[in-house]
Amino acid sequence: MGPPGAGKGTQGARLAEWLGVPRFSTGDMLREARRAGTELGERARRYMDAGELVPDEVILDLIDETLRGADASRGFILDGFPRTETQAEGLGDVLARRGESLDAVVDLQVPEEELVRRLSARRVCPECGAVWSAEELESGEEGIPCPECSAGVEQREDDRPETVRRRLEVYRTQTEPVLAWYAASDVPVVAVPGTGPVSEVQRRLRERLTEGAET
Residues lying near ligand AMP in the complex (CB under 6 A):
4, 26-27, 30, 47-48, 51-54, 59, 80-81, 83, 87, 158, 167
Decide if 8 is catalytic.
yes
Given 8, 14, 34, 123, which residue is catalytic?
8
Residue 90 makes CB contacts below 8 A (sequence gap 6+) with 56, 60, 63, 82
C-beta closer to ligand AMP: residue 59 or 115: 59
Given 14, 23, 123, 167, which residue is catalytic?
167
Nearest approach in angstroms of CB 203 to ligand AMP is 23
The answer to whether 118 and 12 are in contact (CB under 8 A) is no
C-beta closer to ligand AMP: residue 109 or 212: 109
Nearest approach in angstroms of CB 183 to ligand AMP is 19
Nearest approach in angstroms of CB 4 to ligand AMP is 5
Helix boundaries (H) for 70-144: 85-98, 112-121, 134-137
Decide if 172 is catalytic.
no
Given 14, 23, 31, 156, which residue is catalytic?
156
Given 31, 118, 122, 123, which residue is catalytic?
122
Which position's Cβ is nearest ligand AMP?
Answer: 27
List phi, psi (to 5°) of 79: -125, 115
DSSP tally for the chain: helices H, then strands E: 10, 6
C-beta closer to ligand AMP: residue 123 or 167: 167
Given 14, 31, 83, 118, which residue is catalytic?
83
Nearest approach in angstroms of CB 215 to ligand AMP is 29
Nearest approach in angstroms of CB 86 to ligand AMP is 10
Decide if 122 is catalytic.
yes
Residue 51 makes CB contacts below 8 A (sequence gap 6+) with 158, 163, 164, 165, 166, 167, 170
C-beta closer to ligand AMP: residue 127 or 169: 169
User: What is the distance between the alpha carbons of residues 78 and 103, in angstroms, rounded to a whole number?
Assistant: 11
Torsion-angle region of residue 11: left (phi > 0), alpha (psi -120 to 50) or beta?
alpha
> β-strands 122-124, 131-133: how paired?
antiparallel
Active-site positions read 8, 83, 122, 156, 167
